[in-house]
Structure 1
Amino acid sequence: MDLLSSLGSGDEGNAGPDVPQCSRKGCRADAVWQILWNNPKIHDAERRKIWLACDEHRGWLENFLQQRLFWRSTEPLEEGEA
């Protein structure tokens, strides 16, 4: 048996979920919000990174970013985004 063949090509399972999921660790709920943020120490002022959130974890994720002064805005996740 070839060791590399047994490991696979590395492409299996990398497609991601069909529906965007919440970014909170351990949460697999469908995302309905996009939380836009950046770290001003390392990102340009216009740059926005996005975390996705379900209704339950929206507040937790926003608070986490607000405490670090990273939060910029929260917007609904429209169908077809993410």
Structure 2
Amino acid sequence: MSDPRPASPLGGPEVDHVCSAKGCRATAAHAVVWNNPKLHTADRRKVWLACDEHEKSLADFVALRGFLIEVVPVGQLTDADG
């Protein structure tokens, strides 16, 4: 039997996206896209998901280290993100 939920841009059925902030279980609306050039190739796009409350703190954390690429709505994630 097939899953009636639509596929997510990251593959598989659409699921609730949970905020990546420690201890937070809220639904994420934002994707903090980053890359640590000492660990990842230039085309690698790491993603932390964030609820409205934690979007700024998660983005600031990676930006402070020079890793922030962009912050986008979760719906704009592509197969290249992950």
- Normalising by structure 1, what TM-score? 0.72
Q: How many percent identity over aligned positions?
A: 47
The 3-state SS of whatever aligns with 2:75 is: coil
- The structural deviation recorded for 1:78 is 1.3
The number of residues matched between the two structures is 65
Unaligned runs of 5+ in 1: 1-17
The 3-state SS of whatever aligns with 1:73 is: strand
Unaligned runs of 5+ in 2: 1-14
Superposition CA RMSD, Å: 2.1
- The structural deviation recorded for 1:46 is 1.0
Runs of 4+ in structure 1 deviating by more than 3 angstroms, as ranges, are none
Structure 2 residue aligned with 1:67: 64
- The structural deviation recorded for 1:74 is 0.6
Structure 1 residue aligned with 2:18: 21
- The structural deviation recorded for 1:39 is 0.3
- Normalising by structure 2, what TM-score? 0.72
User: Partner amino acid for 2:58?
Assistant: L
Distance in 2 (alpha carbons) for counterparts of 1:46 and 1:21 = 25
Does the alignment pair 1:34 with 2:31?
A: yes
